[in-house]
């Protein structure tokens, strides 16, 4: 099974505002769960935490085997950090033993 986390922000809409008039940056996280043989993803909202989701999968016997970054972006220096790439879409692959 695969889990994909996507992060969206309103930064593109507000980046051109003067800093003193700029609204707060808003982030929305969504989770796609792709179960074996599924033709559509199960969606979880942004109130789902990675820790809670991965714990739930672990309790059900799923083991994390790999992860990768699908998309990234450059974080602007306006956050007070040097420019750096940050992942905006990541995927984790889990396996579970099936009795034969």
Q: pLDDT tens for residues 3-34?
A: 999 888 887 788 788 888 888 888 888 999 99
Q: Given this model, what pLDDT does residue 53 score?
A: 95
Query: What's the whole-number average pLDDT of the chain?
Result: 86
pLDDT value at position 55?
A: 96
Please write the tens of the pLDDT for every residue from 83-94.
Answer: 666 778 899 999
Instruction: With beta carbons less than 8 A apart as the criterion, state whether 72 and 78 touch.
Output: no
Q: What would the two tokens of residue 62 be?
A: 């799923």
User: pLDDT at position 14, please?
Assistant: 82
Which two tokens mark 46? Answer: 């942004």
The C-alpha atoms of residue 31 and residue 50 are separated, in whole angstroms, by: 9
């Amino acid at each position: 099974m695969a889990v994909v986390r996507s992060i969206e922000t309103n930064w593109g809409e507000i980046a051109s505002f003067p800093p003193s008039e700029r609204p707060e940056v808003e982030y929305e996280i969504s989770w796609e769960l792709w179960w074996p043989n599924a033709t559509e993803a199960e969606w979880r909202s942004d109130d789902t935490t990675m820790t809670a989701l991965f714990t739930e999968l672990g309790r059900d016997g799923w083991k994390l085997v790999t992860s990768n970054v699908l998309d990234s972006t450059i974080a602007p220096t306006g956050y007070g950090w040097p420019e750096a790439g940050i992942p905006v879409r990541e995927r984790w692959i889990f396996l579970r033993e099936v009795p034969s």
